[in-house]
Amino acid sequence: MTDSKASAMWGGRFEAGPAAVMSRINASIDFDKRLYAQDIRGSKAHCAMLVETGVVSRDDGQAILAGLDRVLQEIESGAFVFRADLEDIHMNVEARLAELIGDAAGRLHTARSRNDQVATDFRLWVRDAIDGLDGMLKALQAALLDKAEAHAGTVMPGFTHLQAAQPVTFGHHMMAYVEMFGRDRGRLVDGRARLNESPLGAAALAGTSFPIDRFMTAKALGFDRPCANSLDAVSDRDFALEFLAAAAICAVHLSRLAEELVIWTSAQFRFVRLSDSYTTGSSIMPQKRNPDAAELTRAKAGRVIGDLNALLIVMKGLPLTYSKDMQDDKEPVFEAAETLELCLAAMAGMIRDMTVEEATLRAAAGAGFTTATDLADWLVRVLGMPFRQAHHVTGRIVKLAEAQGVGIEDLALDAMQAIESGIDARVFEVLGVDASAASRTSFGGTAPDNVRAAVQAARQRHL
């Protein structure tokens, strides 16, 4: 191997080139090429600053900027040939720039390193990903809000321990996920604010002796300010970890909703029906209608959680500043963002197209003695019983109804009076599922009017 081949990127330090396996393990171009737009954007900002501060001549600066525009056009058109021997996106862009404009290309890397360059590119990419995911979360919330508004008064069983607990409305159930995804958006926005500092100009780790203006490049790239410490600037991956943490929590929320859709579409529940667009059939059982989009969304949460864990493990033992381990920071982030985008799109589609089986929900709302708490509350409110005594009386009445194979509302008045003589006919006013749901008027409760008001408030907050 010739000296020129050996020293293409590392100067004159090495006489021989790397082993083939070293080239394979060292190269990152297969995955970091997706940073091309951010890399060129950062290089253009750096070049403009070098010209403004007199580090690079205006003529060379103009040639560099024109050449970078040409490289960007080639990549976007598919004409650009990525080379693994150039290791990464930074050197691929720089090498092509040199082919286009000659020696002036070599001035672009003045006062920077691949360490601050990649940290800048990566922050820009994560920032763009957050903006895209926020829009997708907003679209999912809009789909949930539409369903919540349409079914603000549709009663269904609310569950604890997956056992029927109290009647709620379907709209109220949908609104719970609106809140969850709102918090997911908040976490992403918070993370975006924290990552919005520019590493560019920190160079390899110690800053530079050239009279650069880091505030100029930060502003040009839409950052709030430069990173305050050059060591931290090139070694920090908190922003990637925070992004992955927010993505993992969001994936868990998606998985919980997906699990409910899987349960609700089963023959044993039949609470909702998913459209043909988000279900599949069976190769052997012609009756099957499988909620595969929901199941895959549920499964993919594990991938996003794994991506977070992978990067935490990469970072946990690294001393300051940059180590090559950190080259493995991008693939988990890229995969998590891509996976989350796919799941958000699938979930929004499922919710939009979903048919709510109102009659089935209503029938299920009263099963399992779900108005027992309403009876206990009535005993407290009307008869003045201490709640613990009311709880005991209600339990005896439920036991009687269960023995007779009827609901509480179907028990004869005299049967209830045999257990508690103070009960009168007014009790039947609270034993229906509609009355139960409508009575939950406390803030955040399931009463239909509450739900309608919550929908309007959420539209203002989130959309």
Query: CB-hemisphere CA count at 13 Å for 312?
Result: 11
Please give, one letter per residue, the 3-state secondary structure of 329-365: HHHHHHHHHHHHHHHHHHHHHHHHHCEECHHHHHHHH
Contact partners, residue 200, CB within 8 Å, separation at least 6: 42, 45, 46, 112, 116, 117, 120, 214, 217, 218, 221, 226
Which of 266, 275, 282, 323 is the catalytic position? Answer: 282
State how beta strands 197-198 and 225-226 pair. parallel
Which structure tokens are listed for 135? 């829009």
| CA distances, 137 to each of 255, 304, 440, 444 (Å) | 14, 16, 29, 22
Report cis status (omega within 30 of 0) of the bond before 321.
yes
User: Rounded to whole angstroms, how far apart are CA atoms 198 and 195?
Assistant: 8
227 and 233 in contact (C-beta within 8 Å)?
yes
Which structure tokens are listed for 134? 């926020």
Contact partners, residue 16, CB within 8 Å, separation at least 6: 1, 6
Is 90 a residue of the active site? no
Is 151 a residue of the active site? no
386 and 454 in contact (C-beta within 8 Å)?
no
> Which H/E stretch holds residue 167?
strand 163-169
| CA distances, 196 to each of 230, 312, 451 (Å) | 15, 21, 37
| DSSP label at residue 430 | S
| DSSP label at residue 77 | H
Where do we find the tokens 């609106």? 178
User: Rounded to whole angstroms, how far apart are CA atoms 87 and 29?
Assistant: 6
State how beta strands 163-169 and 355-356 pair. unpaired
Please give, one letter per residue, the 3-state secondary structure of 238-270: HHHHHHHHHHHHHHHHHHHHHHHHHHHCCCCCC
Chain centroid offset of residue 98 CA: 40
Which of 161, 209, 283, 442 is the catalytic position? Answer: 161
User: Rounded to whole angstroms, how far apart are CA atoms 362 and 164?
Assistant: 13
Q: Which residues are catalytic?
A: 161, 282
